[in-house]
Structure formats: C-alpha cells, structure tokens
Homo-oligomer: A and B are copies of this chain.
Amino acid sequence: MRIGVLTGGGDCPGLNAVIRAIVRKGVQEYQHDFVGFRDGWRGPLEGDIQTLDVPAVRGILPRGGTILGSSRTNPFKAEDGVRRIKDNLSKYEVDALVAIGGEDTLGVAAQLVDYGVRTVGVPKTIDNDLSATDYTFGFDTAVNIATEAIDRLHTTAESHRRVLVVEVMGRHAGWIALHAGLAGGANVILVPERRFDLDQVCAWVESRFEINYAPIVVVAEGAVPLEGQMVLKDASLDSFGHVRLSGIGEWLAGEIERRTGKESRTTVLGHIQRGGTPSAFDRWLATRFGLHAIEAVHDGDFGTMVALRGTDIVRVPIGDATAKLKTVNPALYAEAEVFFG
C-alpha cells in the first residue's frame, strides 16, 4: 500500500513527530510505502512530492516545523481541484492519504472523503480549539513557553513596580492565555471569549500594587475590551492600514499606564510560541496520533480522525473536528478568577 502524507495550516510543534511515527510504523509493521506531498493540499493538487521513507524521518522527532512544508491552499477554490488531486493520486499510485492539519485542512479532507479520496485525519491546532479531542499537540509547548515568559517577568515586575503585559496567541479561543496565566500566576487573564472591562482590569492592577506587588496581565491576541473602550483610532495604528494581530498587548499597556499612572511594558511572544522543539507531552501525543492514524489507514477506516480522550487515542468522524470551536467555558474561567488582582 502506498500512502500520501501532508501537513496544512499554521506551524505547530509536533508535526514532524506525527510524520515520523506514521512512516516508522507503516514501514516496519505493515511494509507500506510513503509519498510526501509538499505544502498541504498544494502538494496533491499540483503533484508536488518528496521522498518519505525511514531515512527521511530520522532525527526529526525533536524538531519544530514540518519537513513537508505547509500552506493554506484550498483545492476547492482551485479550478478543477478535486479532479486534479485524484489524478495526481493515481499518477503517483497513492492508495490513501493522511492529512495532518486544523479546521481548514481537515475540512477539505472531510469533503474529499465524499469524493472517494481515502483519507484519515490528524488534528492540529496550536490554540487547542478543536472540540473533538481533549488536546492537540503543540498546545502544551506553547503554554510552557508562555509560562516561562511569565515566570521571568515576575521578578522584574516586583523589583520595578511596573505593570507587565504579555500578549499570547489565541484569536478565537483563550486556552493558551488561561493555562499559561494560571500556571504562571498571572494577576489578570483576558480571553477572546469574554469582552474585558478596562476599568476592572485597572482595578485589579491597582489592588496588586496596594499589597506592594506588581501585576502581570496575560492577554490573548483576540481579546477585546467592552464596546466603547477601544476607539477606531487605537485599532488602526498600523503603518499599512489594517489592525495588526500583535496590537492588543501594546494597546492595553498604553491604556493601563494612562489610566493608572503606573509604568507599563509589553512582551509580544508571537511566533516563538509555535516554533522550536516540542515538549515531551506534545511529542508523546503527536507520536501516538501518528501510530494510530496509520492503524486507521491499515484498518481501512477512512473518513475518521484520531483524537485524545483521557489517555486513550480514539477515532472520530473527521467532520467532528470542524463541527464546533472549543472555547474556554465560563466555569473554567471563573476558576481562574480567584487569582485575579
């Protein structure tokens, strides 16, 4: 059996670990053959392939990024996309696909299954916002990096009596902010799921100074203040005319400084959260996702996707990944609030 593998969407530590596990188990246990498709769905669409055998996956387990490259190419937006993919699969004698990716990549996979493309999915989202699985790989790494950053800020915050704002990833879901904020002992955590009240934020900041400590504010990139607290002028500060993702941290530090009179500084972690070597948990999860994905292929269980439930890897319909965004629920957020201020 010859199996194609592709990785789509944003970067996520653990992608290479998935690829390695698929190939190692496929070759050694089932004598499968592999083809690497380059840059997500662009690979099968344009017939862009690379060698994918045991030597090719040697040493990649601890490496961030993906040896297969990635893109956001959507074959359903390309002329004749489905037919071109099927033609290329035929041309390279590919019997089945493993598609590793997030909502978009798996959304395409789910549709292609309906067109007869035998595909198994592996879920990937740095933001941990897929509802079909307890966790996805990459998330734990991102949370560790953000937590270490918060750890480092504590001493400075205290020595200098400054407000320190850390902007972390999370456009639609605040999981990284919540977990890192809780693990790092942040004094305020702001998530996209709930508009924040600047007055409340400033009150928390000030109560922290009252006990002679300095506050650390963790803000997800997608968090927004209550209506009326942010004016268009603030949101369009960018030099080339649109709101920059990385704007909220800087904006918030400015507002806190203006309102409380306390010096405020910003750290914008940006892409360091999604690059570099995966944490042990993410390597373990990614490796097991890979092992179970190849099992699903071997079983002919197409249209499914691997998922984590407790400590077990299970299979769920691939469409489940895209069914519903998993966001921070109010009860969990409330748990963290006891530490605010």
Cβ-defined contact, A155 with B64, below 8 A: yes
Interface membership of A24, Cβ < 8 A? yes
Assess whether A152 is in contact with B275, with CB atoms less than 8 Å apart. Answer: yes
Known A-B contacts A183-B280, A271-B164, A338-B28; the reply to A266 vs B254 at CB < 8 A is no
Q: Decide: B159 and A70 in contact? CB cutoff 8 A.
A: yes
A271's nearest neighbour on chain B, judged by CB, is: B156
A 230-256 to B, binary, CB cutoff 8 A, 1 in contact else 0: 000110011110001110001100110
> Which residue of chain B has its CB nearest to the CB of A276?
B152
Question: For A219, what are the chain B residues with a Cβ–Cβ distance below 8 Å?
Answer: none
A151 near B62 (CB under 8 angstroms)? yes
What are 13 A-B pairs at a CB distance below 8 A? A15-B159, A25-B338, A62-B151, A65-B156, A65-B158, A70-B160, A134-B310, A148-B276, A156-B275, A157-B275, A179-B280, A240-B254, A310-B310
* Those 10 A-B pairs whose CB atoms lie nearest each other, nearest first: A65-B155, A152-B276, A64-B155, A267-B270, A156-B275, A152-B275, A183-B283, A147-B280, A65-B159, A183-B280
- Structural contact, B164 and A11, CB atoms closer than 8 A: no
Instruction: Give the bracket for the number of chain A residues in contact with chain B.
Output: 35 or more
Instruction: Return chain B residues, CB-CB under 8 Å to A272.
Output: 149, 152-153, 267
Q: Which single member of B153, B160, B275 contacts A155 (CB below 8 Å)?
A: B275
Contact of A159 among B62, B69, B144, B265 (CB under 8 A): B69
Question: Which of chain B's residues have a CB closer than 8 A to the CB of A15?
Answer: 159
Q: Contacts A151-B62, A272-B149, A309-B310: A238 and B240 contacting too (C-beta < 8 A)?
A: no
Copies in the complex: 4
Within 8 A of B (CB), among A50-105: 58-59, 61-66, 69-70
Is A3's beta carbon under 8 Å from chain B? no
Chain B minimum-CB-distance residue to A64:
B155
Q: Tell whether A335 is near chain B: CB-to-CB under 8 Å.
A: yes
Question: B151 touching A276 by the CB < 8 A rule?
Answer: yes
A302 to chain B, nearest CB (A): 22
Q: Please report the C-alpha to C-alpha distance between residue A26 and residue B173 in the assembled complex, in whole angstroms.
A: 29
* Measured CA separation A238–B258 after assembly (Å): 12
In whole angstroms, how far apart are the Cα atoms of A306 and B156 in the complex?
Answer: 25
Interface residues of A in 106-162 (CB under 8 A from B): 134-135, 140, 143-149, 151-160, 162
**A29 interface residue (CB < 8 Å to B):** yes
Q: Which residues of B contact A266 (CB under 8 A)?
A: 246, 268, 270
Interface assignment of A279: CB less than 8 Å from any CB of chain B: yes
Q: Given contacts A237-B237, A280-B143, are A185 and B250 in contact (CB under 8 A)?
A: no
Instruction: Given contact pairs A11-B160, A153-B276, A183-B280, enumerate 19 new A-B contacts (beta carbons under 8 Å).
Output: A24-B339, A28-B338, A64-B155, A64-B159, A134-B310, A143-B281, A143-B284, A152-B272, A152-B275, A153-B275, A157-B275, A164-B271, A180-B280, A184-B283, A234-B239, A240-B254, A244-B250, A246-B266, A267-B268
From 199 to 253 in chain A, residues with beta carbon under 8 angstroms from any chain B beta carbon are: 213, 233-234, 237-240, 244-246, 250-251
